[in-house]
Structure 1
């Protein structure tokens, strides 16, 4: 890989890391809603279907043919054409981390080393907040911080609290508006089931 390509990869990883760090706090002006609990959600037939599919990996992960799909979530934006019928709407995976004992971060999305997209679900004290993201290797200084507004968000998990190594199962349904860095308005929509093994820290992934 050329030096310029490596630089772009490192910039993308840095941008994603900084975004996840920003999600570890709980600003008072964000919309936080109550997490619903369904201890039987892991029995949903969709997870049996995911067992038959190979996992979608993201940069810098190493593909592993033994890994099974972690996400059936359809995620798309108003900038995508024919979003509901777009086969790439479900082209994502799920990762879950405990950044602190009581801060659970669920990342549903994908990246290819040049771009990354998806959304973060942050859970704390039985409540959650959802925020979409989009990264590219075209990073410029002094970009305007995107403004997100939740239209609705509903989250169901298999239990309220987790420890490292727990199996997490869930269902998300959300819709939000984003005014991005160039002041375009983008609608983000996500809906579907997901699962993950909770890890200690996203920086160790």
Structure 2
């Protein structure tokens, strides 16, 4: 009897593992690697430009990206780019004033990636902590990087595109973003 129970437990664990691996390969997209990406002139122009400030004008920082997001017919907005590698590579495009904002997070594991929008605010109202997040559907994404693996301190050059549907029904709208980015993995 104990051998039979162990056999069922082993089959159950093995089945769950297979399902998780299958889910990962079905829902996470494959990265395109272009080793010549860092040689494009767009990155050289970044070195001679200042980053845009959320308050208008330019900041003192050297430009690291030209990622812009356009919502239906509205003009795009400025995004910061943050790169980290703890425990996996994460590229974050964010816009906000420190009190509220949002952006898009790209998680990368084993040359596969997943894009997800996020938002934050310091103006939390009672009973809104447990509300569901806004509905979104990733329609199309593309991620091009200059190499297939990174560690802390490495330079990264990339290009990202995304198209997302937010909300549904008569309130739905579309968000499209694209741009080049560079930086050092933190």
> What secondary structure does 1:42 align onto?
helix
Contact 1:74–1:90 (Cα < 8 Å) also in 2: yes
Gaps of 5+ in 1: 1-25, 200-205
Q: 1:71-102: per-residue Cα shift (whole Å, max 9, x none)? A: 11111323xxx43xx3xx251121111121xx
Note the alpha carbon deviations across 1:101-149, whole angstroms, 9 max, x for none: xx11000122212221221111111111111223333323212123332
Runs of 4+ in structure 1 over 6 Å off: none
Residue 69 of structure 2 corresponds to 75
What is the aligned partner in structure 2 of residue 8 from structure 1? none
Structure 1 residues 190 and 161: CA distance shift in structure 2, 3 A: same
Deviations for 1:183-202, whole angstroms, at most 9, x for unmatched residues? 95342211111112101xxx
More strand by share: 2
TM, length-normalised to structure 1:
0.68
Q: Does 1:190 align with 2:177?
A: yes
Q: Does 1:32 align with 2:28?
A: yes
Q: How many equivalent pairs are there?
A: 158
SS of residue in 2 equivalent to 1:47 = helix
**Residues 151-166 of structure 1: pairs in structure 2 closer than 5 A:** 151-166=139-154
Distance 1:75 1:109 in 2: 11
Q: Answer whether contact 1:118 1:134 (CA < 8 A) is retained.
A: yes
Tell me the equivalent position of 2:17.
none
Q: Which has the larger radius of gyration?
A: 2
Are positions 1:125 and 2:113 aligned together? no
Cα-Cα RMSD: 2.7
Asked if the contact 1:95–1:197 (Cα under 8 Å) also holds between the matched residues in 2, the reply is no
Q: Is the 1:75–1:118 contact (alpha carbons within 8 Å) kept by the matching residues of 2?
A: no
